[in-house]
Chain A
Amino acid sequence: MEKIKNIFNWEPDRSLYPEKDENGNLIVDLSSQKFTKVWHGPNHPGTTGNMAIELTLSGDEVVEAKTHVGYLHRGFEKLMERRLYIQCFPTCVRMCVAEPDYNEYLLARSVEELDNLEIPETAKWLRTLVLEMARLQTLLRTVPGQAGTLSLGMGVQWGVYLRDLVLDLFEELTGGRVYHMYIIPGGVRGLLPDGFKKRMEDVLLKIEDFIVRIDNLIFKNILFKKRTIGIGHIPAEWIDKYGVVGPNARAAGFKRDVRKDYPYLVYDQLDFDIATLTDSDVYARSLIRRQDLITTIDLIRQIMAKMPNDGDIKSPTPNVLHWKIPKGEVYVRSESSRGEYGFYTVSDGSEYPRRINLRGPSYTHAVVLLEKLLINANIADVHSIMVSLQTCPPEIER
């Protein structure tokens, strides 16, 4: 029996390698031929987009990690400097494929803040709804996706199916499935279609059933626990140091959420709590996202119950073909499923933005944090840790 137990708890002896100097620092000498260079990506099924991690391995242990980006660069921030504000609206959505709506919202909010424009009440509720729906469809992929990185693909398939049902609702409301292009400077582009609330409720019920199923499949799974508990631990002191936000910070005990800390749209009229944990490992971050999924379902139900059914959807704006935004600069933020997501917009008073800079969580998470987090990790856990940070390479390169 003791023998069997030892098989489960076996750990390799890591006292000899990698070599350390008298101060405990690693000695990484590639010419010694004791190290292996491995490129994790850019085209790797475990990555969530074209991004590479250059790993230096000692045996199966990562001793150095370097994130390489540049495979997805389409220059959206620069492209927007050559476009009218209204033309930025279909352009900016591509900065994050998984959650395009936050880009739409932040562009619209930047324009509205700079031009001192109020939007109709109905539009505020619809914007909140769409942002929560965006969170919902992302989490439906991300929560089971964590198990997917460990080759448990069944939950991913369930999630992708349910995400498609949410995309059907997006299609009804916005006319698009992936790039919704719904939140426009001044308001939104349509009221809820007839019967939408009923269909939304049907989907939410299915998602609640799905949560029970993935609890059984993933969160109560010994293999998942073994591969995630204690793995990818982010110390609490790194949170502020490396600009960690969203579920990654909440899993380390930091109760931070833009929706609560700097309420926007109608979040101050909604009743919800922010979940936190303290373990700060891959498992804790997965659990936080699972909790976010439940919170989002609850928020959507509240929005559906409280929102006005009609009213103006867009405030009158200047002619969009030559809308000059007053000179100034503004930082607007929202809470995406990955954490604080903000646009820093500078206007020189012309029809074109002088600069739009995206502050995306993936930049700090996947470039700054990930390089530190992977040190001493096992190569088999590399993409599990990366996915647990919910990195979105398109958002790093914009």
Chain B
Amino acid sequence: MALKDILTPFTAWTNVFKPVVTIKDPFNDRPGAERYRGFHFNDTSKCIGCGSCEAICENEAIDLVPVEGIETKDGDSGLRPRVDYGRCCWCALCVDVCTTASLRLTNEYTWVTENPEDLRYTPGVDVKPWDNNELGWKKPEPNYHFFGQKRVSMPELHPEQRDKSFIEIVKGYSKEQAILEADRCVECGICIATCPAHMGIPDYIRAIREDNIEEGFKILYDTNPLPEICGRICTHKCETVCSVGNLGEALSIRWLKRYIADQVESEDYKRILQSDGIANNGKKVAVVGSGPAGLSAAHYLALMGYSVTIYEQFSQSGGMMRYGIPEYRLPYDQIDKDVNYILSLGVKIIYNTNVGKDISLSELKSKYDAVFAGTGLHLGRSTRIPGTDHKHVYQSIDLLNKITEGKEIHVAENIVVIGGGNVAMDITRSLARLQNIKYGKVSIIATSLEDENSMPADREEVVEAREEMATINPGWGPKEILIEDGNIKGLRVVKCLSIFDEEGRFNPKFDESNTNFFKADMIVESIGQGMDIEYISEDIKKDLEINNRGRIVVDELFQSGAKWLFIGGDIIQGPDVIHGIANGHKAAVGIDKYLNTNI
């Protein structure tokens, strides 16, 4: 102990001469830092109400609530997060997980209110003073993600391996790939609302993650009896609304569905789905057409105990799925796999029987308690431009039918396909293969009114068609098929400026000065299909209501004006497999209701 130990502490007095360090008014003088995790703000126009913020919040401080002025629509639940500041700990995990980057925390941190209820509010909806604060916590950058942003790419045949054959292109996910892809799902369920069949998508994706294929398979069959087919060619509206797709790539929901179906062997179906020993209820239902709608209705009716008989005009089942979609997209053995299970439930199919010609609808009415008609769209539409009456101008649907049946078709050296939809791509790619087989080269041009960005075909179809050496030249309107000496020389086209008028009606506008000529020996028209309802006799038709667009009006359970007749599928909702399946399911419920209550 020295004297300096007594004196040295007094040097602290020198601090008296230093400036003060405290802030007089911290409320005004000190804004939060640029990254400060203060009060919430939500850009409600970007938010889709997926609920990931609610799922990740460890304090259950966030609830998704309905908000006035925001409607539920495809890809938007219509709900928005409400934050309870009695529970929130400002960790900002809700911001980091947000699938749209709409939610953020501002750098505002002082708020005084008399009403404790105010502390539970809906950011972005309830106006707050900090709504325009640009600073605050945002989703960190770069490469900071809470779930995978990129799809697991699907193994496919290389173009050179597939351009001369109809072997299926897509190989399917391996277990590891499927689990990796399934892991990206945030289980928001927005896809369920958009899927016409309202499939339990997050549930079966979870089953994949947990490697519980049988559970996933059961979930598929709850709403969709054609998983092998849908797993390959579904229009996957679910993927277009997938919340993960807002900042990254949407989940490959279709391929995941296919993965489940591919893992289950045919002989295990009945055991897994527990569909043995269904008691027959003694009632009979006829189904016209074995397309997706007919098969779906037959499946669910059979499960309810009805005796179901399907009448099919072709020699094989599947309708447009077999006769419209090429085998490289949907192999026939996969259709058989799905159909055979439905047949194993006791459903009968009478092939080569055209209702309307071989047996009348009235006859079915007298033999069965109810009838479901899912007859599809089988009539090709023509552009009716000069030259379409030439014998080498074909309808795509006729050619696809013949390819399925294994019949010889005319394949010219130079072909032009008119149309930009999926069917146009199907015939283009089928003919390209046939050209390759026959001539060893491809010379086919597909052209459409729509430009590259608005072509209705799936993007991957266009890409793959180009990989197979087909030329896709969109944005042209067909004017005339040039014929010389009885032979087609080509298609004259003009530039298409717009397709729809201001009122949204089909009314294409052309730039007549901008013309082009596609050389061809053969033209295929593929601009959509129409329905043929000639099989409905006049005495039945008088009970039906037909709307101004020529479509038959049915109720929500697909019951037509003639109470015993239920109609669904493409002729009601337009060409789409998953809509057909959903219609068939609902119609089965409707038929059951009709036969049990006679309403």
Task: State A3–B312 Cα separation when bound (angstroms).
Answer: 123
Q: How big is chain A's contact interface, by range?
A: 35 or more
Q: What residues on A are CB-neighbors of B12 within 8 Å?
A: 154, 213, 216-217
**Of B5, B92, B145, which one neighbours A316 at CB under 8 angstroms?**
B145
Q: How big is chain B's contact interface, by range?
A: 35 or more
Q: What residues on A are CB-neighbors of B33 within 8 Å?
A: 168, 171-172, 175, 193
Asked if B90 contacts A176 (CB within 8 A), the reply is yes
Chain A residue at smallest Cβ distance from B38: A175
Task: State A193–B135 Cα separation when bound (angstroms).
Answer: 13
Given A181-B92, A220-B4, A321-B187; A175-B36 close (CB under 8 Å): yes
Question: Within 8 Å of chain A (Cβ to Cβ): is B277?
Answer: no
Question: Within 8 Å of chain B (Cβ to Cβ): is A309?
Answer: no
Q: What residues on B are CB-neighbors of A168 within 8 Å?
A: 33
Question: Shortest Cβ distance from B395 into chain A, in angstroms?
Answer: 47
Question: Within 8 Å of chain B (Cβ to Cβ): is A304?
Answer: no
Chain B residue at smallest Cβ distance from A313: B144
Given A86-B56, A171-B32, A312-B142; A320-B97 close (CB under 8 Å): yes
Task: State A88–B93 Cα separation when bound (angstroms).
Answer: 11
Question: Within 8 Å of chain B (Cβ to Cβ): is A322?
Answer: yes
Segment from B178-186, B524-532, B559-567 that makes contact with A: B178-186
Asked if A321 contacts B97 (CB within 8 A), the reply is yes
Question: Within 8 Å of chain B (Cβ to Cβ): is A18?
Answer: no
Task: State A173–B89 Cα separation when bound (angstroms).
Answer: 18
Asked if A189 contacts B52 (CB within 8 A), the reply is no
**Of A91, A222, A225, A321, which one neighbours B55 at CB under 8 angstroms?**
A321
Given A86-B93, A171-B36, A193-B35; A319-B55 close (CB under 8 Å): no
**Of B11, B97, B206, which one neighbours A216 at CB under 8 angstroms?**
B11
Question: Shortest Cβ distance from A267 into chain B, in angstroms?
Answer: 25
Task: State A182–B57 Cα separation when bound (angstroms).
Answer: 16
Chain A residue at smallest Cβ distance from B96: A189
Q: What residues on A are CB-neighbors of B36 within 8 Å?
A: 171, 175-176
Question: Shortest Cβ distance from B64 into chain A, in angstroms?
Answer: 15
Asked if B147 contacts A319 (CB within 8 A), the reply is yes
**Of A91, A161, A175, A220, which one neighbours B92 at CB under 8 angstroms?**
A175
Interface residues of B in 25-65 (CB under 8 A from A): 32-37, 52, 55-58
Asked if B8 contacts A321 (CB within 8 A), the reply is no
Task: State A168–B52 Cα separation when bound (angstroms).
Answer: 31
Task: State A194–B37 Cα separation when bound (angstroms).
Answer: 18
Q: What residues on A are CB-neighbors of B209 within 8 Å?
A: 322
Question: Shortest Cβ distance from A138 into chain B, in angstroms?
Answer: 20
Q: What residues on B are CB-neighbors of A171 within 8 Å?
A: 32-33, 35-36
Q: What residues on B are CB-neighbors of A314 within 8 Å?
A: 140, 143-145
Question: Within 8 Å of chain A (Cβ to Cβ): is B311?
Answer: no
Interface of A: prevailing SS: helix
For the A-B complex, the count of residue pairs with Cβ-Cβ distances under 8 Å equals: 119
Task: State A110–B183 Cα separation when bound (angstroms).
Answer: 21
Question: Within 8 Å of chain B (Cβ to Cβ): is A221?
Answer: yes
Question: Within 8 Å of chain A (Cβ to Cβ): is B148?
Answer: yes
Asked if A319 contacts B148 (CB within 8 A), the reply is yes
Question: Within 8 Å of chain B (Cβ to Cβ): is A254?
Answer: no
Asked if A161 contacts B21 (CB within 8 A), the reply is yes
Question: Within 8 Å of chain B (Cβ to Cβ): is A125?
Answer: no
Question: Within 8 Å of chain A (Cβ to Cβ): is B91?
Answer: yes
Task: State A161–B35 Cα separation when bound (angstroms).
Answer: 22
Q: What residues on A are CB-neighbors of B93 within 8 Å?
A: 86-87, 89-90
Task: State A216–B34 Cα separation when bound (angstroms).
Answer: 38
Question: Within 8 Å of chain A (Cβ to Cβ): is B137?
Answer: yes
Chain A residue at smallest Cβ distance from B34: A193
Question: Within 8 Å of chain B (Cβ to Cβ): is A243?
Answer: no
Asked if A312 contacts B96 (CB within 8 A), the reply is no
Question: Shortest Cβ distance from A352 into chain B, in angstroms?
Answer: 12
Chain A residue at smallest Cβ distance from B90: A176
Asked if B184 contacts A319 (CB within 8 A), the reply is yes
Question: Within 8 Å of chain A (Cβ to Cβ): is B127?
Answer: no
Question: Shortest Cβ distance from A297 into chain B, in angstroms?
Answer: 20
Q: What residues on B are CB-neighbors of A320 within 8 Å?
A: 56, 97, 146-147
| Chain B residues in the interface with A (C-beta under 8 A) | 1, 4-6, 8-9, 11-12, 15, 21-22, 32-37, 52, 55-58, 89-93, 96-97, 105, 137, 140, 142-148, 183-187, 206, 209
Q: List 26 A-B contacts (CB under 8 A).
A: A84-B58, A86-B56, A88-B58, A171-B36, A172-B35, A179-B89, A179-B91, A181-B37, A181-B92, A189-B144, A216-B12, A217-B8, A221-B5, A221-B8, A221-B9, A222-B6, A223-B9, A225-B1, A312-B143, A313-B143, A314-B143, A316-B145, A317-B146, A319-B146, A319-B183, A321-B97
| Chain A residues in the interface with B (C-beta under 8 A) | 83-84, 86-91, 154, 161, 168, 171-176, 179, 181, 187, 189-190, 193, 213, 216-218, 220-223, 225-226, 312-314, 316-322
Given contact pairs A86-B56, A173-B35, a sample of 17 additional A-B residue pairs in the complex whose CB atoms are under 8 Å apart: A86-B93, A86-B146, A87-B56, A90-B58, A91-B58, A175-B35, A175-B92, A189-B144, A193-B33, A217-B11, A223-B9, A225-B1, A314-B145, A318-B147, A321-B56, A321-B146, A322-B183
